[in-house]
Structure 1
Amino acid sequence: MANALSAPDVGDGGSGLFAAIEAAEMRRRVLVLEKNLAPGGTTNWAVGSLSSSASPMHAAIGIQDRPAAHFEDMALFHGAFLSRDNPDLRRVLVENVPDTLKKLLDMGVVFFGPMPEPPHRVPRMHNVLQNSRAYAHALYRRARELGVDIRLNHRVFRLLYERERVVGVEAEADGSQHRFIAREMKRKYAGESIAQAGALVKTSTGDAHQLALGVGAGTVTPSAARNLGVPPKVNLMTMLPPSRFLALLMKWSTAKLLQA
């Protein structure tokens, strides 16, 4: 089975869904292939906080902050690992996270904060409400609004070539193989496994890393990765369904408790 499209996107965690949304907003026909039975990937197991400078919440309480200061403060977190840091990637992060946060707010994601996060010089930690599944819920909804074709239970196992260029992927679903051919490769592949660290999610096995390495890609500072540990599979917070109303209620309640 062959399918033509503008941009295949492998994996529908936070990064994969965001990439699909960006491509769809550029009027590209986007297909997302996810091997799990539900969207969200490792993002669903994240802590959920997002550190950013220059957010609307900063402006609301009179904090003046900028990406350059965020860049400087991030170096303070590394300690003995600073030599393994990648300043170029750090700069990409701090310069783009304010717009990312604003876009998430526009999609209906609710944050509480900013909260102090030493050694940041000003509060920068924005905490998602109710839990990290709110990201995938909002991103999945926005992607579907834009017409993104999201197919779960599709495991990509091979890159397809034409004249020594990657032009598509081959995936397996329910015992059948499917070929997806791209007219333009706007989006490459996103994997989520971390070298030499225990898997946070059992299905995060680095399939896309292996595909990319096979065509000459490299990895950046994998030895600097650190695993925060696997949270309990089920607790009160993880049982809460994604709901903007509930998130706003939690935000209001938390603010009142802090004032008490």
Structure 2
Amino acid sequence: MTDLHPVPPELLLAHERWTARDRPAQPAPHWFPHRWTARLPEHADFIDTLPNPISREAVASQFVDAGDSDEAALRAFLAAMIWGHGRNGYGAYRTAAVLAASDHAGEWLSEALQTTRAAGGPAGFEYLAKHRLKGLGVAFATKYLYFCVTPESKVTPAPILDRIVRHWLATHTDWQPRLDWRIADYQRYCDLVVHWSDQLTEPAGTVEYLMFASGLGTASQWTDSREHATRPPLNSNADANAVLAALDEAADAFEALTEDVTPEDAEDFERGLRALKRIVVARSHCGPQTN
């Protein structure tokens, strides 16, 4: 591991606030089972067994036996995607599209799980980078890989890397990882998180969650609203990042409707979205978010 940053003051502060509130677990997001069973009827029986709301712990329990077969890995993947999308209305559509796009989805997810458990998060990431499931980006791929590493594992963990964490790193360090399957970037990110987890004596998942929660800037389905009630005013970059992320989610949701709209409507929507992003960036003086 080289060129590792010390724990940023902002992460130390986030950790201090979190421990002062008795180390609350990440809130479990609610989700819409009927949307998932409608999009993935062949998995309806399994989906119906999942709790609502669904916590990290509930998802982790689905990974205990996920290495037994391709089908088991596929079910574990579905649990991770349901947790990751939460209330997002387009999550079932996007996940079904990922699985439908490849005849090897179960096989590759199983191999990625086995690789991650044997050699660590970066190795699992490299496997998925070379065996790409169309429509599965880095953010949700790492949500799957995160659960592949069990607490008993001695390998490098697989912390989640999404747009919020990426922007947090860009704001509080001099480095911003890419979200376009750069293996070296994910390796460096894992090294950073492991280094900081050692310094804070916390699991890697806790370090990632603290960055994610403080990087959101506003309360959401994945953060504890009590934190935001006691925090000082948020800076414009954090607020802008939350708005830009929400606009990206709106674009993803609209993508699920494109079969029912005219090309003219789609063009109008994209034009309006670009205009809104320009306004947010201009008023906050923050860099554009391209992922």
User: Normalising by the residue count of structure 1, what TM-score does the alignment of the two structures yield?
Assistant: 0.30
Give the structure with the higher percent helix.
2
Give the structure with the higher percent strand.
1
User: Normalising by the residue count of structure 2, what TM-score does the alignment of the two structures yield?
Assistant: 0.27
Q: Higher relative CO (CA 8 A, sep ≥ 6), structure 1 or 2?
A: 1
